[in-house]
A and B are shown apart, each in its own frame.
Chain A
Amino acid sequence: MTGLGRSASRRSGPMAGEARWAWLVLAPTLIGLAVLSAGPIIATLGIALTKWDLLRAPTFVGLDNFAGLVTDDRFLKALRNTFFYTAVSVPLGLSIALGVALALNQRIRGIAWIRTAYFLPVVTSTIAIALVWQWIYSPDQGLLNQALGLFGIPAQNWLSDPTLAMPSIVAMSIWQGLGVNVIIFLAGLQAIPEELLDAASVDGAGRTARFRHILLPLLTPSIFFTGVLALIDSFQVFDQIFVLERPRPTDATITVVYFIYENGFKFFKMGYASAASWVLFLIVAAFTAVYFKLQGRWVHYQ
């Protein structure tokens, strides 16, 4: 409809000086692309091939930085932690969000208030949230240990125990990000025509059958969409690590972005940090590409 109207009424020639106006209003964006976003992507690759502490001139070292990363135990640990974080937080976070959205998707008075409760952590800064969770997880008198103590479970070092540290951070992040995914799922659920569900129940489909054969397939575009956002986002986890890792340099929760931050801005190894950021970039790109490639197998567009 819009397309037809547009082509029918499309004016014959451009406005006077239209292209000139276009370049004028685009100028800020073009400068930004060149010096702040697109340009620097290339520059990072260049810096990654050098050894550079910002004080002396950079020296070209070829692929040494990349070779160094492969044998750097801290980097490998950061990679492992980041993968763990992604592999657990994305599917678990999406499943919980889907359950909450299904439950929230009904007309009950006061539902807006409950929705607000789920959404509040999203607008709150991660540093404030991480501070509270640091206190909840605190080994001395933290809320979690106190609560578990009621059931006779001994106190744990949630953030410094190597096996508990990453799961603790994942739990906090799922809590914080839940609201975003719930809202996207709710939007997806509200777009599903109720006639479809009613027709199915008239035909005798039970609750489970309706969920499996109608709701879930129709929600796959929303699941795909939240999935790609969560995937890209989870590889970039930094704020909570910065707040929770800094006081205890045990590396139990070091992630790739924290590694980049530390090498770049604390040790001033610009080349090394750039190489790490390119590795991360390639991993994210590869995962995103595979994810998009697989969507044909499970995503149903109406």
Chain B
Amino acid sequence: MTTPARTSARAAATRPRPPTHHRRTIRKALLIGLLIGGGILMMVPFLWMISTSLKTRAEVFATPPSLLPASPQWQNYPDMWNALPFATFFFNSAKLALLNTVGALVSCSMAAYAFAVLRFRFREPLFALLLITLIIPFQVVLIPNFVLYRLLPHPFSASGNWIGTQEPLWVGAFLGGAFGTFLLRQFFLAIPHELADAARVDGANPWHIYRYIYLPLAKPALATLAIFTFMWTWNDLIDPIIYLRDISSFTLTAGLALFQGQYVGKWPLLMAGALVSVVPMIILFVAAQRHFVRGIAMSGIKG
């Protein structure tokens, strides 16, 4: 919009004063240098992780230290992978992340639809209650949730209740979530009302309108919620260490915590494990950068 005024102002500011222009170029070059330097600084821990993961143990503690491995020890990766059941950890993390994503998409979109479109008693106070739970820190509900899952009977668990099973790590996702509901409600509110009215005239019921009008139109917001839910579950540490007991049920984060305890000082293997655990998230991020950036700019959420 209205670029002519801006370009002319800019031209007027730059054209008649070559020294300023020159100084501006230098400043810009400096700035870019600083940015690249900062970017490299940000990458140092990752580069150090990669470099260490390919070193021998002797190299890691050598004086003077080496920046790069003399010859890459690719064997560290299979060694790490077989030290603990990492394939199982991967499978568990992926399974739980997918279950949480599906649960959040289904339950939050339904609730958001009710709050944004349908009319019913107590709509406003219920939504306010949901918003309050958004602000409350998670550790306030940590202990009652644990107590609840300890009371629930479970047919296949050694304890007879839900402790030690993976169920506490995903069932809750199907019971709504304040963040997802809020995000999708905002999106639904922006969808023109006339679409639903037209469908209603044609005999559609509220479920049809949700399924065939609101859900398809909300795809970008659903994608944002899916990506963040997947990332949160994948990176979650406190819930797996509280609820999981048996190593075969561990997620990658819980597995890494165990690995850390068992392989103290064996940095090449630990770094290999850390690197392998973050690769899926980095791929997801690069593939869906747009959604990440928009989701954060929209809501300020993070990992």
Contacts and interface: CB of A to CB of B under 8 A. Distances in A.
B135 A288 contact: yes
B119 A121 contact: no
Contact of A40 (B36, B145, B176, B177): B145
A19 B121 contact: yes
Interface stretch (B68-76, B217-225, B233-241): B233-241
B26 interface: no
Contacts of A19: 118-121
B110 interface: yes
Interface residues of B, number: 113
A25 B110 contact: yes
Contact of A136 (B48, B192, B241): B48
A129 B34 CA distance: 24
A284 B296 CA distance: 22
27 contacts: A6-B193, A19-B121, A22-B206, A25-B114, A32-B107, A37-B133, A40-B145, A41-B136, A43-B147, A114-B35, A114-B36, A118-B39, A120-B285, A124-B282, A125-B234, A125-B235, A126-B303, A129-B274, A136-B45, A199-B9, A229-B302, A232-B137, A239-B238, A247-B261, A270-B143, A274-B144, A281-B137
B160 interface: no
B10 A198 contact: yes
B280 to A, nearest CB: 10
A108 B270 contact: no
Given A10-B193, A19-B120, 17 more contacts: A2-B192, A19-B119, A22-B114, A25-B111, A40-B145, A108-B32, A114-B39, A117-B43, A120-B285, A123-B231, A135-B271, A184-B296, A184-B297, A229-B300, A235-B137, A247-B261, A261-B139
A225 B300 contact: yes
Given A5-B193, A135-B270, A243 B257 contact: yes
B169 interface: no
Interface centre among A124, A270, A273 (most CB of B within 10 A): A124
Contact of A118 (B38, B200, B271): B38
Nearest to A43: B144
A36 B107 contact: no
B122 to A, nearest CB: 10
Most A C-beta atoms less than 10 A away, residue of B150, B193, B210, B286: B193
A38 to B, nearest CB: 6
Contact of A125 (B137, B192, B237, B267): B237
Given A32-B175, A199-B9, A284-B137, A118 B205 contact: no
B277 interface: yes
Interface stretch (A64-72, A139-147, A212-220): A139-147
A26 B302 contact: no
A300 interface: no
Contacts of A116: 286, 289
B39 A180 contact: no
B154 to A, nearest CB: 16
Nearest to B231: A123
Interface in A123-173: 123-129, 131-133, 135-136, 138, 140-141, 143, 146
A194 interface: yes
A114 B297 CA distance: 18
B242 interface: yes
Contacts of B286: 116
A128 B277 contact: yes
A67 B130 CA distance: 32
A29 B205 CA distance: 21
B91 interface: no
A236 B139 contact: yes
B194 interface: yes
A288 B137 CA distance: 12
Most chain B Cβ neighbours within 10 Å, of A16, A36, A140, A186:
A36
Interface in B32-56: 32, 34-36, 38-40, 42-46, 48-49, 52
